[in-house]
A and B are shown apart, each in its own frame.
Chain A
Amino acid sequence: MSDSDVEPDGRGGAFHAVILFGGILFGFGLGVSRMARPEVVLDFLQLQDLGLLFVMGGAAVVSALTFHIGTNVLDRRAPLTGRAYTRRVREMDRNVLVGGSIFGVGWGLSGICPGAAYASVGIGNWPILWAIGGMFLGAYAQGFARSKLAERDAGTEVTGAD
C-alpha cells in the first residue's frame, strides 16, 4: 500500500482536537446558514434567495482577517505544528477555469458542494450519500486519468514528475 514514510502535517491529541473543534464550528455554521440543504443553494442559483452571498461573504471576511493577523501581526509560527502562517495561493492555469466550470455544472444541477454535503450527513439527510458517493467517484475518475497520463508521460520523456 502507500508508503508510510511521509511525515504527517501534525499528530497527537491536541493537534487533532483543534482540527476537530474547527470542523465542528465549520459544520455548525453550515447548519445555521442552511447550506447543508441543497434546496436553499438551488434557490440561490435560481436567484430567488440571495442569502448565500452573506454566507460566503461573512466567512471570507473572517478568514481574510484571520490570514491578515497570521501573516502581518503574529510574529511566530503555529504552536501545534511549527508551521509558518501563510495565505492560500494557487497557481493560475487553464485547469482553474476548466475545473471551475465542471464544478459549476455539478453544483448547479445538485445544489451540493463537498463541505455542505458532509454537514448534510450531520443533519440526518441520508439521501445526500448519493452526492458524496458521486464525489468520490468523480475524484477517483480524475485521479485515475491523471495517474495514467503521468505514467505515460514518464514513459516517453525522462523528466521529473510534477
Chain B
Amino acid sequence: MNIALLLQMAAEACPDRTAITFEGEHYDYQTLFDAASRAAQTFSESGCRFVSALDTSSPAAPIALMGAAMAGLPYVPLNYRLTDDQLSALIERIEPAFLITGAGDCQFDVQTHMSREAFLRAAMADGPSIETWHEDPSAVAVQLFTSGTTGTPKAALLRHEHLVSYILGSVEFMGAMPEEATLVSVPPYHIAGISAVMSSIYACRRQVQLANFDAETWVRLCKDEGVTNAFVVPTMLTRIIDVLDEQNDPQAAFPQLAAIAYGGGKMPVPVIERALKLLPDVNFTNAYGLTETSSTITLLDPNDHREAISDTHLRQRLGSVGKALPSIELEIRDEDGQAVSAGTPGEIYVRGPQVSGEYDGRSVLDSEGWFPTRDAGYLDEGGYLFLSGRADDVIVRGGENISPGEIEDLLLDRDDVVDAAAVGMASEEWGEAVALALVMKTPVTEAAIQDFIRSSLRSSRVPEAIRFVDELPYNETGKLLRRVVREWF
C-alpha cells in the first residue's frame, strides 16, 4: 500500500486528462506519474532519508510527494513563513535530507539541495525511473511539523495506511467529470494542502494551483480557469466575500463554481451567512480535521447549510462542523475519560483507520485506539459536532470551566464588533480569570462590554481586563494565536 498508487490509478484510467494547471501550464496525469517516477529514482540515488520542500505551491509539490512515496521516504514540506533559525532547527531534525527550495540558492546545511526549477526540469526530462516501490503500509508517507501555536513544533507522522484509508474512505475514484477543476490556495505544508493533492488525483480532478492567495487573483482564476470546486480557510472566505460585495452580481463572477469547502480554523457564523446569501447556487461544505487525523473527520454538507439558512430552528447548525465521516467514530469525554451524552461539553476523541495520532514515533492513542484531539466541543441531539476551542484554551475560573468560544460568539454577534478573543489571565482570587481582546468598528467603553456580557451570560464570564486592538494575531491558515493574545495580559 502506497499513496503513489492513487496517482498510478489516475494515470492508468485517464492519462490525457489535465492533472495540474500552474501559471498557464498544464500537466496531464501520465506526465505527472512519469515525473514522480523519475523523481523517485533521483531521491533513491541521493542516499537521503527525507525529502523536504521549502516552497509555495507548484507542480513540484505533488511530484515530490508522490516521488518520495515511491522511494519509501517521508515527505516533509516546510512552512516558508518561519524564520531561518526556526527552519534550521527543523531541517536538523530531518538530515540527511533532499531539500527542494523555491529560491535558487540555499542557506541551509543539507545533504542534497535542488531548486524547484532544476528539480522540475530533471523530472520532466527523459531519465531513469524507479523500478520497484516500497509497499509497506506502515512506512511514513508524510511528516508535518505542527504549527507550534503552543510551543516547539512536533513532528506529526502520517503513514501510507492512514492517508490511503482517508482517500479511499472519502473520495470516489474518477468521481470528477472531465471539465471539473479545483482551485488549491492552501499552502503545501498544511495537511489541507496535502489532502487536496491526493483527493484531486484520486478523483481525477484538475488542480489549479495558486501560490500566494489574494482575493482578487482567486476570483479572477475562478473565472479564467473555469473552476468548479475550491477549498478555503475562513480568513480567505472573508476576503473573497469583501471582493464580491463590491460586484453587482456576485454569482456571475463564478459561472462554473459549484462548490466551496472550508476549514482549517473557526468560521465566524456571520461570514458563512453572508457567503450563502451572496452565492446561493454554490454548495458549501464545512470540513473539520487535524493533521494527526489525515485531514477531514467531520463534514457539514451542502444540504445542512441550506436547511440551516432557511429554517431559524436549525440556524445554529451553521456554527457546527457537522457529522463524523462514515469511517470515523467520534465521542466526547469528560475529564475522567468517560463518554458524555449529547449537549454536554468535553474533549473530542476520534478513532478510525485514517487516524495516526503519532508524533516523532510516539503514539498518543489510548489502548483502544482513540485519539484525544485536545479540541473541546459537544454533540447536539442530531449528532452534529460543535467546537468550543482547544481543550488547553479552556479558562478555569475558580474550578468552573469557561469556553472562550462562548464569550467570543456572543460578542461577534454584535454589529460593532469586528473580532474577539477571550483568554485566561492569572488571578489571585480565582486562579484564572477572563481577559478579552476586542477589535471594534466603533469605540465602546469597557463597562458597556462588561454589562453586555453580564446580562447575556453568567457573571463568571465577565472579563476582568479588556484590551482594544486594531487586529488579532492569526497564523497564515487562519488559526488564532491565543498564545500571543495571552501575552497581552
Partners in one complex: no
